[in-house]
Amino acid sequence: MPRHLNFAFFILVMARNEKKYKFSKGEEGDNKNTILLIGVLLILILVLGGVLVMIIMSKMTPIKPVANTTPPPPVVPPTPPVNVSNGTITPPACSDACHLQNAIQQNNVSECLLVSQASVQDCLLQISNTSLTACTSLADEGRKKSCVMRFAVSGNDSSLCGLLGTTAKQECISALDPCRSSNDKPLCQALSAKNATKCGSDSRCLLDYGVAVNDSSVCGRIGDAVMSKACLSATLGTDKCSDLPAGAQRDYCYELWALHQDDFYICTQITGDTVYSLDCYSTFAAKLGELSICDQDSFSLNSLWACYTNYSLLSGDLSGCKKIDELATTSLFRCSFEYAKKYGDPSACQVISDSLNQRSTCYQGVIIYSNQNLDWTKCAGIVNYEWYNKCYIESAKLYNNVSLCDRIANANERQSCVDSFNTSKNK
């Protein structure tokens, strides 16, 4: 039982027993005052004691912990070791594989230079598709050429071709512009781009393009009526040349159709012994290597000789010239001389057998005046002694090669060749 309750109980007991005791009037008053004083003191003591007990008990009660809502501190990576001597940070060591990975991820050539010497080229190769610096640093010329050409073509930048050697540079330029050296650049560009507009209004280009891609819709863009019909005939595989009103137009259309269709038998649709039939038959004779195609009954002798001449000039086979009758001196000279100039072969002049003057004129023209194609390897086939030596003399000057004079057997003529060569160099 709490102490303040005990005290209250004690007061009640004392009150009940008050009547049991008899005091004198004076004593009774004094006793009452004494008891009251004692009771007040006891009450104060008990009250103060209770308060003290409550304070002590409250301090003994456990405090419920409060949830910690503060976020955890960030994880700080370990600080690289510091070189105490100079205060610099020493990075952790990086292996070849580490540098290679950095090079690939960062496309950084500098990382490749940090690997061991034996692995540098392999590292450069790994990033050569994306780094021009790595590409040009490759030691393997074949790989270097391939990746430089890839950069040049993808960026349409011909200046990059200058990073390669002479031969590889030309290959690079050709890859960048495949039509650069084409004899028919507009047609080449149209075919490369698969776009007929590259031909512009060039009827021949449009005809060639339409037939090449077998697209008859291109034919309608050709302004020339004959070429347009030839284009339609070749792309549709049916005769549209017969729609033309004039005979010469039809003949030319059939010639174009035959050549573009690559069909020799279409030549038979052309009127006999005309310039169109001559061109058609002689072209196929040279293309097929069949000189006998020229032997058309419809040809006159002049047309026949012309067909033989065209055959030799187109095919490089001198047998066409040789088949011209010796009495047809004009045709025989023309065939031999033109062949000799075109193929740089003075020995072709020897086909001219009946006229020494014409043969000499042929030698002179091919060796001296029109010698841009002169082939010194053909000099040995010349039977005329004078022109044999002259061929080597002019070849030495043309090819800037004095050693060709050594092929002349006679010592005086050989020295004359050397003197002529030196004179030409001192001019």
The model's confidence at residue 110, banded by pLDDT at 50, 70 and 90, is confident
Query: pLDDT, tens digit, for every residue of 299-322?
Result: 999 999 999 999 999 999 999 999
The model's confidence at residue 180, banded by pLDDT at 50, 70 and 90, is confident
Say yes or no: 330 and 422 in one domain: yes
Q: Is the pLDDT of residue 411 over 90?
A: yes
Look at residue 109 in the predicted model and tell me its pLDDT: 84
* More confident of the two residues 71 and 391: 391
Say yes or no: 329 and 421 in one domain: yes
Say yes or no: 19 and 106 in one domain: no
The model's confidence at residue 5, banded by pLDDT at 50, 70 and 90, is very low
Q: Total structural domains in the chain?
A: 3
Q: Is the residue at 91 inside a domain? A: no
The model's confidence at residue 415, banded by pLDDT at 50, 70 and 90, is very high
Helix (H) or strand (E) holding 180: none
Q: Is the pLDDT of residue 254 over 90?
A: yes
Q: Is the residue at 10 inside a domain? A: yes
Q: Is the pLDDT of residue 155 over 70?
A: yes
* More confident of the two residues 71 and 152: 152
Q: Is the residue at 17 inside a domain? A: yes
**Which residue range(s) make up the domain with 34?**
3-55
Say yes or no: 331 and 427 in one domain: yes
Q: Which amino acid is at 221?
A: R
- Percent of the chain topping pLDDT 70: 81
Domain boundary among 160, 176, 192: 176
Say yes or no: 34 and 111 in one domain: no
Question: What is the spatial distance between Cα 282 and Cα 270, in angstroms, rounded to a whole number?
Answer: 13
Nearest Cα neighbor of 321 from 284, 359, 356 is 359
The model's confidence at residue 230, banded by pLDDT at 50, 70 and 90, is very high
Look at residue 257 in the predicted model and tell me its pLDDT: 97
* More confident of the two residues 70 and 408: 408
Q: Is the residue at 7 inside a domain? A: yes
pTM (global) more than 0.85: no
Domain boundary among 22, 40, 55: 55
Q: Is the residue at 414 inside a domain? A: yes
Q: Is the residue at 277 inside a domain? A: no
Question: How does 150-178 read in b/e, with b if 16+ C-beta sit within 10 Å?
Answer: bbbbeeeeeebbebbeeebbeebbeebbe
Q: Which amino acid is at 14?
A: M
Q: Is the pLDDT of residue 66 over 70?
A: no
Look at residue 86 in the predicted model and tell me its pLDDT: 56
Say yes or no: 332 and 419 in one domain: yes
Say yes or no: 331 and 425 in one domain: yes
Q: Is the residue at 368 inside a domain? A: yes
Q: Is the residue at 238 inside a domain? A: no
Q: Is the pLDDT of residue 54 over 80?
A: no
Nearest Cα neighbor of 221 from 238, 235, 240, 200 is 200
* More confident of the two residues 162 and 61: 162
Query: pLDDT, tens digit, for every residue of 331-348?
Result: 999 999 999 999 999 999
Say yes or no: 44 and 100 in one domain: no
Residues ≥6 apart with Cβ < 8 Å to 340? 346, 347, 348, 349, 362, 365, 366
Q: Is the pLDDT of residue 85 over 80?
A: no
Residues ≥6 apart with Cβ < 8 Å to 136? 144, 148, 163
Look at residue 241 in the predicted model and tell me its pLDDT: 97
Say yes or no: 339 and 423 in one domain: yes
Q: What is the DSSP letter of 109?
A: H
